[in-house]
Amino acid sequence: MKIGLIGLGKMGGNMRERIRRAGHEVVGFDFNPDVTDVPTLEALVESLEAPRLVWVMVPHGAPTSSTVAKLGDLLSPGDLVIDGGNSRFTEDFVNDELLAGKGIGYLDCGVSGGIWGLENGYGLMVGGRDEHVELAMPIFDALRPEGPRDEGFVHAGDIGAGHYTKMVHNGIEYGLMAAYAEGYELLEAKDIVKNVPGAFKAWSRGTVVRSWLLDLMVKALEENPTLEGVSDYTADSGEGRWTVEEAIANSVPMPVISASLFARFASRQQASPTMQAVAALRGQFGGHQVMTVAEGEALRNGDGASH
């Protein structure tokens, strides 16, 4: 099978290689001349045979929307576009409506696996019509992990369901990472525990908390046992926010994932206005000392006495 792939970054480049290893022909396009196979989007489309299948792997939002719109002008009825980026599921409705008006199919596909997907395979969550999923199935089979199809691949439902499922997946990921991280901090804080990296490694086999994320935590601690020099500033890609927004919209209690998202926000603050207000209030009602910023930093650094 022959497929066009737009976006050859860390994920897209590895996906191109995995699809090729499965015996399919991939024509890739990227604005980086060092990795692209063709010079233009037009050249990519011209190199494919009907029905054309084009996979879009670019940042969500405007880059994806503009790419899908351009493909709508270049492709023909019967062709198929797959958005494999981290788009918000509501954007899929717009993209599908645009392409459907021109007789072009559309699928949304949440992709998980990161930089390890080339060797291990990618978890795929797809939304769209049955006939379009069937058309693209050889590519999905090439990308997913080896083994039963339903372990690593799901046709989750209608348009938007793939990205919605991936959004919830990433929200769960936030909560899992936060739980492992909190456990790490508590173990580090207790003086009787002498081998924190060893504790995490011991958990990785035979325990109920074992997971691939735990394996990655073990790897990180083997490379840097005390995480020396690692900033606590933690970004978010947007999907955790969308998950919490959907929880509110659907009245679904989600305290763990919400707390893990807010913890990331807290990591970016030089100082916490919330805790500044709490300190000021303690001073007002209880006469407790309100420390200056310098005094607070001295305590954090172990240079002052607690009051």
What is the spatial distance between Cα 259 and Cα 90, in angstroms, rounded to a whole number? 24
Inter-CA distances, 25 with 3, 44, 58, 206, 211, Å:
6, 12, 20, 41, 34
Q: How many residues does the chain have?
A: 307
Contact 112, 169 (CB under 8 A): yes
The set of residues, in sequence order, having a beta carbon less than 8 Å from that of 208 and lying 6+ positions away, is none
Residue of 17, 70, 173, 201 marked catalytic? 173
The strand pair at 80-83 and 25-29 is best described as unpaired
Please give the angle made by the CA atoms of 53, 129 and 162, to the nearest 5 degrees. 85
Question: Which residues pair with residue 80 across a beta bridge?
Answer: 53, 105
Residue 166 a catalytic site member = yes
Contact 92, 83 (CB under 8 A): yes
Q: Is residue 43 packed enough to be buried (19+ CB in 10 Å), middle (13-18) or exposed (0-12)?
A: middle
Residue of 17, 46, 134, 166 marked catalytic? 166
Residue 246 a catalytic site member = no
3-state secondary structure of 304: coil
Q: Which amino acid is at 157?
A: G
Q: CB neighbours (10 Å) of residue 238? A: 15
3-state secondary structure of 291: coil
Instruction: Indicate the Cα dihedral angle 11, 12, 18, 23, nearest 10°.
Output: 170
3-state SS of the chain: helix, strand, coil percent to 5? 50, 10, 35
Annotated active-site positions, please? 166, 173
